[in-house]
Amino acid sequence: MRIKKKNQRFHWFMLLPACLFLVVFLLAPLVMMFVLSFRDVDSMMNTLQSYSLSQYLHVFTTDAYVKAIGSTVWVALQTTVICLLMAYPAAYVLVKAPHPRLRAFFYILLVSPLLTSVVIRTFAWIVLLSQNGLINGMLIDLHLIEKPLSMLWNMNAVIIAYVQVMLPFAVLPIATSLTDMDRHLRPASMSLGAGRIRTFFHVTLPLTIPGMITGAIIVFSLAAGSYITPLLVGGRMQPLLPLSIYQQVMQVYNLPLAAAMSFTLLICVLAVVSLLSYLLKRWEARMHA
């Protein structure tokens, strides 16, 4: 028992530095920002000492910002759904790869983008989609079009780039739940006479729902909170909350408004993530019942 106590003290001591670091450099600034979001500003964007709800009122009464909140959530949802639809066959192929070498190859294709900077991966889409980019060049060479199409600087470009940047985060959890799925369940269902399609909808799909929800949580929160990709392929004017926050901080210098927008964004993301986590728990409880 003495050993156990001594051990515990040692383990608590090891947990301490990371927690302290996060409290000082993550929790403290978030709390400071929360306080800041209730401050007023004067016409020169100086922060005043008084507190009010004016920044939040400003966010929720300005049409452009309300629209930005809606389209941020909408774009993130579209990205999530497209990612899941594309991730499913990719995960299936990864898990069912007949040769370990092929599986390793698929893994490399999946993980290497995650290790490459987002700037670089987004830049590739500029090269592909721009007016004198590859796709336009090929279409003109094939005489399918005469003038280059403008494919950049709109929301579709943002969604395409998002999907490519975030797809691996959706594939990996689905692949994990496909692997974990009892390998005997599928043959069992088929030997009882169910066809492949019925087996898929009644056995495989329900058992991989947790993997899909886990993937959806990651993809949604990344897509709702990024500003680099929309800035580069969508342009500064897209109605997205992260872009408005970036502008308030870097150009308008209205920090309290940026703080209020940040908490609005944080709450939107948390709401969707909590809903998905709740669904995940309910589904798992049902599966194990």
Contacts of 78 (CB under 8 A, 6+ apart): 159
For another protein, give the closer residue by CB, 54 or 247: 247
As a whole number of angstroms, the distance between CA 111 and CA 133 comes to 26
For another protein, give the closer residue by CB, 207 or 231: 231
**From the CB of 4, what's the least distance to another protein, in Å?**
10
As a whole number of angstroms, the distance between CA 74 and CA 224 comes to 9
**From the CB of 99, what's the least distance to another protein, in Å?**
13
> How far lies 15's CA from each of 3, 23, 27, in Å?
19, 13, 16
Sign of CA pseudo-dihedral 249, 255, 257, 260: positive
**From the CB of 146, what's the least distance to another protein, in Å?**
18
As a whole number of angstroms, the distance between CA 149 and CA 143 comes to 13
Tokens of 132: 């004198």
**From the CB of 112, what's the least distance to another protein, in Å?**
5
Give the DSSP letter string of 209-263: HHHHHHHHHHHHHHHHH--HHIIIII-TTS--HHHHHHHIIIII--HHHHHHHHH
With beta carbons less than 8 A apart as the criterion, state whether 243 and 197 touch: no
**From the CB of 280, what's the least distance to another protein, in Å?**
14
For another protein, give the closer residue by CB, 207 or 248: 248
Q: In terms of residues, how long is the chain?
A: 289
For another protein, give the closer residue by CB, 168 or 239: 168
**From the CB of 218, what's the least distance to another protein, in Å?**
8
**From the CB of 107, what's the least distance to another protein, in Å?**
5
For another protein, give the closer residue by CB, 61 or 117: 117
For another protein, give the closer residue by CB, 49 or 191: 191
Sign of CA pseudo-dihedral 239, 243, 249, 255: positive
Total Cβ atoms within 10 A of residue 149: 14
Q: 154: which DSSP letter?
A: S
For another protein, give the closer residue by CB, 255 or 280: 255
For another protein, give the closer residue by CB, 160 or 207: 160
Backbone angles phi, psi at 10, to 5 degrees: -60, -40
**From the CB of 152, what's the least distance to another protein, in Å?**
12
